[in-house]
Amino acid sequence: MKGLILLSVAIAIIPLFLVVANVVVEGLPAISSGFFTGIPPSPLAGYGGILNGIEGSLLMVGMGTLIAVPLGVGAGIYFSEWPESRLSFLSSFTNDVLAEFPTIVIGLFVYALVVAPTRTFSAVAGALALAIIELPIIARTTEESLKIVPITLREASMALGIPRWKTIFRVVISTGKSGLATGILLGIARATGETAPLIVTAGYLNYPPTGLFQQTGSIPYIIYNFGTAGYPNWITVAWGAALVLVAFMLILNLSVKFFIGRKSTGVRAEI
Amino acid sequence: MSLPASLIGVQPKFETKGLKAGFKSTWVLNGIDIKIPPNRVTAVMGPSGCGKTTFVRCLNRLHELTPGAVVEGEALLDGEDIYDRNTDPVAVRRRIGMVFQKPNPFPTMSIYHNVVAGLALNGERNKKKLDHAAEQSLRGAYLWDEVKDKLTDSGASLSGGQQQRLCIARALAVEPEVILMDEPCSALDPTATAKIEELITQLKKDYTIIIVTHNMQQASRVADYTTFFYLGKMIEFGETADLFENPKEELTERYITGKFG
């Protein structure tokens, strides 16, 4: 029986291992210091760099996260602390639907909302699409991490004559903050890897971002665009960009593990 | 119900009139009329489900925080109804401290910050005042000597008994008039229990104490007065020794002789 379980674990891990190995093998030739400072090459002219993608992704994920964090954390606090309210039930349900929404549809929504009226693909439109994608993830993880804060701590605080909002901000959130951080990192990881919504909102620029209402490149777009082109050097650029993205995801996920590890010791200490 | 002779003419610290409490359609407390004397320890005793915990949670308006909770009747603190429409429950809770069944220090805060939490989170910034309050409260809870060299350690790093005394210190720091204790020793070993009980008898000099307990020995050790609750009603109230030796009600007698509960 144990053998069967180990076998299925191996089968589950092998594809992941193969993907990562493949990305490393294919992408490594493109990686040099220039890959982080240059711009994508012309056909058959070396590997260049993906600075436009790195800066574009940082810009759009950064702005998107700045929009999504206050809204998502706020919504999560509301879902967790006022679960009996009808608005909480309704918006929590909406949040679940939004979390499962096809991201291309979110992209098209932002296209209609921002791209069409401004008549240009832009970093702002891309950031807005990413914010909508991050929002439900952050709201849900905030809710979950605050709900596991023991009710006895809230009561201890209220019994000291500390008002409810201060109890929430200074006791509940402070106890659940590693969960909050985890949610934000998960949101960032999700947004960083999104491609489809950026195609219809941010478009592409072969140079680092020139303005918030200009077309803006991103790492996933480079993978999509160069990976499907016919030139061998462009395909290696796409692999290199994929390697950078995977490495970034790995770092984010390790940070999440770090925060979750701290959370569990926190719970142990409390018992 | 007749008042014990020792309480005739004494202005009660707390008095409830027809206090009913429960959840949505079920009443847990069915009209409690009680007079709690000042600077004395009053024990609330009774079998599980008799409403003793709900009763003390009504006295600092904590019961109403549970979704679906309902309260009726009056609870007079120094003659003023804490359930009056114009009374701010937050202000009520500052006058009435509470110690819970399980020690519940704030896990993210140091020992020092646990003690001064009630002051600091209500806006007190003066470091000297906070330091003074921390030391006084920890001394009051007989914890100072054990923790004075590690005030910055996490409150969660202490033993169970120390954590409970930390929670008592935390309650003392906001200078309440009444301290409610809901089975404060139920999670503690006998040594830690003995320390808390000794502490309770010291604290009554400055505070009115109401302690919920299912432990009759504990009630007889610490309480000046004891009341027996059964099925949401107050069956009897009297001086502790009197109530244990000459219970006036049959239910009380059956409970203290171990025939049920």
Q: What is the CATH number of the domain that holds B15?
A: 3.40.50.300
Q: Does a structural domain hold residue B213?
A: yes
Q: What pairs with residue B27 in β-bridges?
A: B22
Task: Note whether B104 contacts A150, CB cutoff 8 Å.
Answer: yes
Alpha carbon distance B114, B163 (integer Å):
10
- Taking the alpha carbons at both ends of chain B, their separation in whole angstroms is 23
Hey, what amino acid is at B68?
G
- With a cut of 50, say whether residue B179 has pLDDT above it: yes
At a CB cut-off of 8 Å and minimum separation 6, what does A125 contact? A110, A111, A114, A115, A118, A201, A202
Residue with tokens 């202000």: B91
Q: Which domain holds residue A238?
A: 2-270
Alpha carbon distance A224, A206 (integer Å):
14
- With a cut of 50, say whether residue A269 has pLDDT above it: no
Q: Number of residue pairs across A and B with CB atoms under 8 Å?
A: 81
Neighboring chain A residues of B91 at a CB cutoff of 8 Å:
161
- Note the pLDDT tens digit of each residue in A196-217: 999 999 999 999 999 999 999 9
Facing residue for B100 by CB, picked from A156, A163, A167: A156
Ramachandran area for residue B231 (φ above 0: left; ψ -120 to 50: alpha; else beta): left
CA-CA-CA-CA dihedral for A169, A175, A176, A181, to nearest 10: 90
Name the pairing type of β-strands B80-81 and B69-77. antiparallel
Alpha carbon distance A7, A166 (integer Å):
51
Q: Does a structural domain hold residue B45?
A: yes
- With a cut of 50, say whether residue B77 has pLDDT above it: yes
Q: What is the CATH number of the domain that holds A239?
A: 1.10.3720.10
Alpha carbon distance B49, B230 (integer Å):
8
Residue with tokens 């914890």: B143
- Note the pLDDT tens digit of each residue in A110-121: 999 999 999 999
If one counts every other C-beta atom within 10 angstroms of the C-beta of residue A134, the result is 28
Band of residue B180 on the pLDDT scale cut at 50, 70, 90: very high
- Note the pLDDT tens digit of each residue in B83-106: 999 999 999 999 999 999 999 999
- With a cut of 60, say whether residue A266 has pLDDT above it: no
Question: What confidence score (pLDDT) does residue B261 get?
Answer: 56
Answer whether B69's CB lies under 8 Å from B57's CB: no
Task: Note whether A157 contacts B106, CB cutoff 8 Å.
Answer: yes
Q: Does a structural domain hold residue B174?
A: no
Alpha carbon distance B149, A263 (integer Å):
27
Name the pairing type of β-strands B178-182 and B26-36. unpaired
Q: Is B93 on the interface with A (CB under 8 A)?
A: yes
Q: Does a structural domain hold residue B217?
A: yes
If one counts every other C-beta atom within 10 angstroms of the C-beta of residue A207, the result is 15
CA distances from B19 to A46, A55, B4, B10 (A): 84, 66, 21, 21
At a CB cut-off of 8 Å and minimum separation 6, what does B20 contact? B27, B29, B30, B31, B32, B71, B72, B73
- With a cut of 60, say whether residue A264 has pLDDT above it: no
Question: What confidence score (pLDDT) does residue B10 get?
Answer: 86
Q: In the 3-class helix/strand/coil scheme, how is A118-154 assigned residue by residue?
A: HCCCCHHHHHHHHHHHHHHHHHHHHHHHHHCCCHHHH
The number of folded domains in chain A is 1
Residue with tokens 């244990």: B244
Neighboring chain A residues of B92 at a CB cutoff of 8 Å:
161
Q: Determine the residue among A146, A149, A162, A169 to mutate to test chain B binding: the one whose Cβ has the most chain B Cβ atoms within 10 Å.
A: A162
Q: What mean pLDDT comes out for the span B51-74?
A: 93
Alpha carbon distance A178, B84 (integer Å):
40
- Note the pLDDT tens digit of each residue in B111-159: 999 999 999 999 889 999 999 999 999 999 999 999 999 999 999 899 9
Q: Is A155 on the interface with B (CB under 8 A)?
A: yes
Band of residue B1 on the pLDDT scale cut at 50, 70, 90: low
Query: A112: burial class by Cβ within 10 Å (0-12, 13-18, 19+)?
Result: exposed
Alpha carbon distance A146, A141 (integer Å):
8
CA distances from A230 to A242, A254, B84 (A): 17, 35, 79
Residue ranges in A28-102 assigned as alpha helix (H): 51-81, 86-100
Alpha carbon distance A139, B127 (integer Å):
37
Q: Minimal Cα–Cα distance from B255 to chain A, Å?
A: 30
Q: Is B157 on the interface with A (CB under 8 A)?
A: yes
Q: Does a structural domain hold residue B114?
A: no
Hey, what amino acid is at A245?
L
Question: What confidence score (pLDDT) does residue A87 get?
Answer: 86
Question: What confidence score (pLDDT) does residue A267 get?
Answer: 38
Nearest by Cα to B226 from B21, B16, B37: B37
Q: Is A86 on the interface with B (CB under 8 A)?
A: no
Q: Is A153 on the interface with B (CB under 8 A)?
A: yes
Q: Does a structural domain hold residue B166?
A: no
Task: Note whether A270 contacts B156, CB cutoff 8 Å.
Answer: yes
Band of residue A261 on the pLDDT scale cut at 50, 70, 90: low
Q: Does a structural domain hold residue B135?
A: no
Alpha carbon distance A134, A150 (integer Å):
27
Q: Minimal Cα–Cα distance from B219 to chain A, Å?
A: 24
Alpha carbon distance B238, B228 (integer Å):
9
Q: Which domain holds residue B59?
A: 5-104+180-256
- Note the pLDDT tens digit of each residue in B246-257: 999 999 999 988
Q: Does a structural domain hold residue B209?
A: yes
- Show which of residues 174-233 on chain A sit within 8 Å of chain B, judged by CB atoms: 174-175, 177
- With a cut of 70, say whether residue A128 has pLDDT above it: yes
Question: What confidence score (pLDDT) does residue A244 get?
Answer: 96
The number of folded domains in chain B is 1
**In this structure, what token pair is assigned to residue A90?**
């309704």
**In this structure, what token pair is assigned to residue A19?**
């993907």
CA distances from A76 to A140, A184, A223, B76, B87 (A): 6, 12, 34, 38, 31
Can you tell me whether residue B253 is helix, strand or coil? helix
Query: B86: burial class by Cβ within 10 Å (0-12, 13-18, 19+)?
Result: exposed
Residue B226 backbone phi and psi in degrees, to 5: -135, 140
Answer whether A201's CB lies under 8 Å from A227's CB: no
- With a cut of 50, say whether residue A271 has pLDDT above it: no
* Listed range (A257-266, B24-33, B225-234) with the worst mean pLDDT: A257-266
Alpha carbon distance A160, A163 (integer Å):
9
Answer whether B230's CB lies under 8 Å from B255's CB: yes
